Structure 1
């Protein structure tokens, strides 16, 4: 039977500790994302966050050095998850036009969940007060969406060569804007009406 200081037991203990730490960090990120979607970066508070996760506020500092570090991690995880979801959507569909038609659904789902909006759109509205490391990740979210849209627009043959990025930027701004307007009125039907208007005007494929 191995002793308490055996390499096997020490390795197992470290693995358990690392798993627990990783799980705690994921819970913090998940709770922080929920709070930020409802209240923005300014609404992130370590004490409230700790209460939501069920830990001491001091424990958050084991994973994030300060609020800016946490905010950057939340925004980074958000755009990474969004990028993965967009890539998965394109990989699962042989029709790029269908992907473009379905694109607004991503923003619609946030409104369906407690009338929330895209986390990075919320944080972008706070850009004057964001630390540089947070703002960098927030801007990356927009860059990722525009790049994906530009690629799919080209694949679908919707725009002429050289026009895909401008059209992609317009679509992203319009859809994010529709989400913001609908959220301000707590009106999901308004979002759908605005998206239908974009399709009627030719901005989005119908």
Structure 2
């Protein structure tokens, strides 16, 4: 077994905990199984996280921070806000491409009745970050005015997260793609470059 308190141990724990939570939710996180995956003693996890709630909050916080950075990078890569909106569903598709996983905060949100408050706060922040980014990009794309942007952003976020959930339940990533295309056809998301 590796030393659980050395450099890099906390990072290994967070990476493994994220993968477990994306597959099994917050309820699936337990220190014994996590320690086995990481290759350390379960007691070593307590060196970095005082409780399961602290670990769950750290995992969710890291997830929304990484997601926020990915959305910012998407904007930096393209000066076209419509193109950014077209590419947004791909940020959720990546989880499905990784062993049919779900967005970590989506799966934890489904457990909201059983989450400690510190975890709930981080899960809600993920949704807030997604909606704020979408709202900003929708206005920049001139798809809605600022007074209607948050409502439209919430609809897009819910639709894309829902498409991910449906595709995962069938283990069929093509279903995600079909649903996203239906959102484009209906006008919820911008269409492909060819269709406008």
**1:73 corresponds to 2:63:** no
Structure 1 residue 161, shift from structure 2 partner: 3.2
Structure 1 residue 91, shift from structure 2 partner: 1.1
Q: Distance in 2 between matches of 1:167 and 1:81?
A: 23
Structure 1 residues without counterparts, runs of 5 or longer: 1-19
CA deviations 1:79-109 (Å, max 9, x no partner) are 0000001001101111010000000001111
Q: State the SS of the aligned residue for 2:100.
A: coil
**1:82 corresponds to 2:54:** no
**Could you tell me which residue of structure 2 aligns to residue 185 of structure 1?**
170
**Could you tell me which residue of structure 1 aligns to residue 161 of structure 2?**
176
**Could you tell me which residue of structure 2 aligns to residue 138 of structure 1?**
123
Q: State the SS of the aligned residue for 1:199.
A: helix
Structure 2 residues without counterparts, runs of 5 or longer: 192-196
Structure 1 residue 22, shift from structure 2 partner: 4.1
**1:45 corresponds to 2:30:** yes
**1:97 corresponds to 2:82:** yes
Larger radius of gyration between Structure 1 and Structure 2: 1
**Could you tell me which residue of structure 1 aligns to residue 48 of structure 2?**
63
Structure 1 residue 112, shift from structure 2 partner: 1.1
Q: Distance in 2 between matches of 1:78 and 1:22?
A: 21
Structure 1 residue 74, shift from structure 2 partner: 0.2
**Could you tell me which residue of structure 2 aligns to residue 154 of structure 1?**
139
**Could you tell me which residue of structure 2 aligns to residue 113 of structure 1?**
98
Q: Distance in 1 between matches of 2:173 and 2:48?
A: 37
Bigger shift: residues 52-61 or 156-165: 156-165
What is the number of residues matched between the two proteins? 188
Q: TM-score, normalised by structure 1?
A: 0.89
> RMSD between aligned alpha carbons?
1.1
Q: State the SS of the aligned residue for 1:61.
A: helix
Q: TM-score, normalised by structure 2?
A: 0.94
Q: Distance in 1 between matches of 2:146 and 2:13?
A: 44
Q: Distance in 1 between matches of 2:43 and 2:17?
A: 15
**1:125 corresponds to 2:84:** no
